[in-house]
Amino acid sequence: MSVERKISLTKKYMYSALIIAGAVVAAFGIRVLVGPRLKTANSGYRVVMGTFANITAVAGDSKTAGICVEAAFDKLKYVDEVMSDYKAESQLSQVNREAFGRPVHVDENLFEVLRISGEYSRQTENAFDITVGPIVDLWRQAQELKRLPTEAELAEARSRVGFGKLALNRADKTVRFGVKGMRLDLGGIAKGYAIDSAIEAMEKAGAVGGLVDLGGDVRCFGTPSDNKASWLVGLQDPAADDRLLLVLKLRDMAVATSGGYRRFTEIDGQRYSHIINPGAGASADELISVSIIAQTATAADTLATAVSVLGGEKGLELIDSLSETEAILVGAGKTAELIHTEGVRRYVDTTQAVPVYSTASKVAGQRKPWPKENQL
């Protein structure tokens, strides 16, 4: 190689190096112009509302991100204090004790939850019904007595159930029971509402992105953490605690899961879900897992309970009729069939190295990939 050529090569490298350096400076300059790098705060797992919560906030600086996480937790705790039926001093417990005798005044948020619950009752033909308390109690009692509720007991409990037996006064924000012995149960909506309240609190406190995970029900908004294009949310395989069914990539969406795979009553070796079909008085056992993707966690939470009650056919019909709402169902039979609405595909992250196994193969003691027709 001639000396001349050597020099020109060196020059070429020099130019390349300059171009790269220039690009780095330009990129840095742009970053300075656009603003500093975003900071993420993560809470780790904390116990709240009887489950584990994990909150992430993305903001312009670490301090703001930290404040956003705490603002979100404050909301979860507040919703729990008002709407828990385990706490005797909660407003909900007061309503359940006193609303037959007199109209009970409730705060704005609880009234809002009661009003929204009524809307979901209408939308789901009463598959979702917060007045289901007396039947839930009967099934809880069945667990202790180790025997199924009798027809007479169910008929009596059903006489105390029905959203129409509830009088809500919008102007005074009061609630009154039309029948003695009614009990409101917000187990199918409180978590979703709490998540939505927490997300709102984070936005108000200055987050540009965030995610609230409350016992596996999740809502995310805005800019994802770690420079990712979407928030990644794993759905648990109902057949195995340590395995994911699939990973969803979400932006400004929520997902909630209902199902009898974790909480159930067992009598004579038979499992009965904690989700009740209010019309029939029976437990809803056709599906072991129902995940709903929707724009709010309240919608996802209530619709997951409703679809559990409605079953696969009617449930999918309902979800197909709603915009921006998708469903992933796992049947309770030995085949543990996976059924989903068409629109689910665009949320599934196929690049994740997460094995997606058939729950059916788990039943059979082997692990095989989902059958082709089930592959998303």
In this chain, which of 68, 130, 247, 253 binds ligand ADP, going by CB under 6 A?
130
Minimum distance, C-beta of residue 75 to ligand ADP, in the bound complex (Å): 18
Minimum distance, C-beta of residue 350 to Mg ion, in the bound complex (Å): 27
Interacting positions 154-193 with ligand ADP (CB under 6 A): 185, 187-188, 191
Minimum distance, C-beta of residue 359 to Mg ion, in the bound complex (Å): 20
Q: Which is nearer to Mg ion, 64 or 273 (CB)?
A: 273
Q: Which is nearer to Mg ion, 225 or 325 (CB)?
A: 325
- The site partner of 65 among Mg ion, ligand ADP, none (C-beta below 5 to 8 Å per kind) is none
DSSP string, 58-91: EESSHHHHHHHHHHHHHHHHHHHHHH-SS-TTSH
Minimum distance, C-beta of residue 215 to Mg ion, in the bound complex (Å): 8
In this chain, which of 80, 237, 286, 301 binds Mg ion, going by CB under 5 A?
301
Q: Hey, what are 45's tokens?
A: 């797992």
- Does the protein bind Mg ion through residue 185 (CB under 5 A)? no
User: Helix, strand, coil shares of the chain as percentages rounded to 5?
Assistant: 45, 25, 35
- The site partner of 185 among ligand ADP, Mg ion, none (C-beta below 5 to 8 Å per kind) is ligand ADP
Q: Which is nearer to ligand ADP, 190 or 207 (CB)?
A: 190
Q: Hey, what are 86's tokens?
A: 């385990």
* Helix, strand or coil, per DSSP, at residue 250: strand
What is the spatial distance between Cα 222 and Cα 285, in angstroms, rounded to a whole number?
36
CA dihedral 279, 284, 287, 293 (to 10 degrees): 60
Q: Which is nearer to Mg ion, 205 or 214 (CB)?
A: 214
Q: Which is nearer to ligand ADP, 7 or 88 (CB)?
A: 88
Minimum distance, C-beta of residue 289 to Mg ion, in the bound complex (Å): 11
Minimum distance, C-beta of residue 187 to ligand ADP, in the bound complex (Å): 2
What is the spatial distance between Cα 39 and Cα 37, in angstroms, rounded to a whole number?
7
In this chain, which of 274, 291, 292, 325 binds ligand ADP, going by CB under 6 A?
274
Backbone dihedral angles phi then psi of residue 60, each to the nearest 5 degrees: -65, -30
- Does the protein bind ligand ADP through residue 132 (CB under 6 A)? yes
DSSP string, 298-317: HHHHHHHHHHHHHHHHHHHH
Number of residues near Mg ion (by CB under 5 A): 1
Minimum distance, C-beta of residue 209 to ligand ADP, in the bound complex (Å): 25
Residues whose CB falls within 8 Å of the CB of residue 269, separated by 6 or more in sequence, listed in order: none
* Helix, strand or coil, per DSSP, at residue 101: coil
**Which among 108-116, 297-305, 318-326, 366-374 is the span making contact with Mg ion, rule CB under 5 A?**
297-305
- The site partner of 128 among Mg ion, ligand ADP, none (C-beta below 5 to 8 Å per kind) is ligand ADP
Helices (H) then strands (E): counts for the chain: 9, 17
Task: Report which residue type is found at 279.
Answer: G
- Give me the long-range contacts of 227-230 (CB less than 8 A, separation at least 24): 230/349
Minimum distance, C-beta of residue 146 to ligand ADP, in the bound complex (Å): 20
Pick from 185, 218, 178, 199: which is nearest to 93 by CA? 185
CB-neighbour burial class of residue 14 (10 A; exposed 0-12, middle 13-18, buried 19+): exposed
Residue ranges binding ligand ADP (CB under 6 A): 128-130, 132, 136, 185, 187-188, 191, 258, 274-276, 278, 301, 304-305, 308-309
Residue ranges binding Mg ion (CB under 5 A): 301
